[in-house]
Amino acid sequence: MTTTVHKAGAIPIGHPDLVAEIISEIRASGPITFARFMERALYHPKFGYYTRATEPEERIGQSRIGPNRIGWDGDYYTSFDVHPILAQTLARQIRQVDGGLGSPDTFTVIEMGPGKGLLARDFLAACEKDSPTFFARLQYVLIERSPMMIAEQRRTLALWVAAGKVSWLNGIHELVDGSLTGVLLSNELVDAFPVHRVKIVQGEPKELYVADADGRFVEQTGPLSTPALARSLARLAAMDITLPEGYTAEINLEAMTWMKEVARVMRRGIVLTIDYGHTAQDLYGPDRARGTLLCYWKQLTSEDPYTRVGLQDMTAHVDFTALAAVGDEAGLRVTGFTNQMSFLMSLGVEQELDRLEPGTKEFQEIVQLLRPDGMGRTFKILIQHKGIAEPALDGLKFKPFFGSVLAPSASKVAKS
Ligand SMILES: C[S@@+](CC[C@H](N)C(=O)[O-])C[C@H]1O[C@@H](n2cnc3c(N)ncnc32)[C@H](O)[C@@H]1O
């Protein structure tokens, strides 16, 4: 997702039916956690940002609402809107993993949160073209929370559906323990999980709740809603990360649950997670004292989650140290941690660029994915493995971080 500073005008509170539902929930049972608010705003079954179908613009007070959330005509774009090279590079990397697994009869790629299905489309096309034998053994499974997005994936992947190459599951819970041989892949999934927000007030961690003030949403602080938040703060303290007075931080408990689930289903293979994010030391450092919560609407960003509720995306940066630590406790070892630029360079993107005329559209698109002041460094890639010896992966040849950047925290944290 890209950033431009948003200048507020007359901004609607949000989708009227969604706002009414959240307000009535608050009136019935009191202020709700920010995580519950974000859950409703993004994934309410009928009116959530990702789940709602397109509606007439006068109904929701917007000047232009297209069917697309993601893409150039949507609210934000992702790497797969820019150029297929990342999908093609992932295909190359994953074929190497297949070799390391001894080319099993069926190699499964599960993609979670596939959005429009562009990664799947370009990944499958690259495999079919470059490695028909791998392609013959490949099964591509999508897990997507939004029915609206599934409908779009079915359109994007119609050819592969007809060929029996892709299928869908309703959730990772449908997989039995140790059933996956292959790869679990995601791009910008974890940053879309609802987060709790914690603020340090008079030296104590308090949670941010969302309350109702005459039909508008306002924030209140209150006690931590779950001991899991205190455990997360204790994990940080064990790494000598203490949040100072006034600091506001997001804590992504769903990411921890997800990581454990991923470890549970993995038998032999890797987990490859691409997202905005940082090590815990960077994420909870002094530069981010207001947290990283950001909203996206028509390619603009805003820090206000209480307007355009259900009409704008909301995200928070990912704590890769926590993912690595929770994964490690559940049997997933860290293979490596890199950024998108280093990953693409390690897998030969320069040769692709050499083929192209500098200044052409395609050349510029690939450069955009590599930019050190943009997508190249903002996006990190965490690779974890289970059931195999530590794989030597080409995508991890260039190392932008010290090898131990995630490991010490993984070994120091208290078990929760
Ligand atoms: C930011 S979009 C990223 C889309 C796509 N991966 C891309 O890079 O273009 C996040 C996607 O994850 C989906 N999602 C969020 N939580 C999910 C979950 N628990 N299981 C499956 N999909 C989920 C959303 O519906 C949305 O399609």
What confidence tens digit (pLDDT) does each residue in 76-90 have?
Answer: 899 999 999 999 999
- Extended beta strands in 104-253, E state: 107-112, 138-143, 166-169, 180-187, 196-201, 204-213, 216-222, 248-251
Interval between CA 112 and ligand 1 midpoint (Å):
7
Cβ of 315 closer than 6 Å to ligand 1, yes or no, is no
Tell me whether strands 294-297 and 266-278 are parallel, antiparallel or unpaired. Answer: unpaired
Interval between CA 231 and ligand 1 midpoint (Å):
27
Cβ of 127 closer than 6 Å to ligand 1, yes or no, is no
Summarize pLDDT for 275-328 with one digit per residue, the tens: 999 999 999 999 999 999 999 998 889 999 999 999 999 999 999 999 999 999
What is the rounded CA–CA span in Å between residue 330 and residue 259?
A: 8
Interval between CA 292 and ligand 1 midpoint (Å):
18
Interval between CA 145 and ligand 1 midpoint (Å):
7
> Which pLDDT band, with edges at 50, 70 and 90, does 69 fall under?
confident
Interval between CA 126 and ligand 1 midpoint (Å):
22
The answer on pLDDT for 412 being more than 60 is no
Cβ of 74 closer than 6 Å to ligand 1, yes or no, is no
Interval between CA 164 and ligand 1 midpoint (Å):
23
- Residue 79 CA, closest ligand 1 atom number: 8
Q: Which pLDDT score is estimated for 298?
A: 87
> What is the CATH classification number for the domain harbouring 169?
3.40.50.12710
DSSP lists the bridge partners of residue 212 as 217
Cβ of 78 closer than 6 Å to ligand 1, yes or no, is yes
Cβ of 302 closer than 6 Å to ligand 1, yes or no, is no
Torsional class of 270: left (φ above 0), alpha (ψ -120 to 50), beta (otherwise): beta
Q: Which residue type, as a one-letter code, is found at position 178? A: G
Mean pLDDT of 146-160: 95
Cβ of 80 closer than 6 Å to ligand 1, yes or no, is yes
Q: Which pLDDT score is estimated for 188?
A: 97
State how far the alpha carbon of 411 is from the alpha carbons of 230, 254, 326, 389, 394, in Å. 19, 22, 11, 19, 26
Q: Are 221 and 206 in contact (CB under 8 A)?
A: yes
Report which protein residue has its CA nearest ligand 1's atom 1: 188
State how far the alpha carbon of 52 is from the alpha carbons of 42, 354, 360, in Å. 9, 43, 38
Percent of the chain with pLDDT over 90: 85
The answer on pLDDT for 63 being more than 90 is no
DSSP lists the bridge partners of residue 107 as 138
**Which range marks the domain in which residue 229 is found?**
1-416
Summarize pLDDT for 354-381 with one digit per residue, the tens: 999 999 999 999 999 999 999 999 999 9
Cβ of 112 closer than 6 Å to ligand 1, yes or no, is yes
Q: What is the total count of domains within the chain?
A: 1
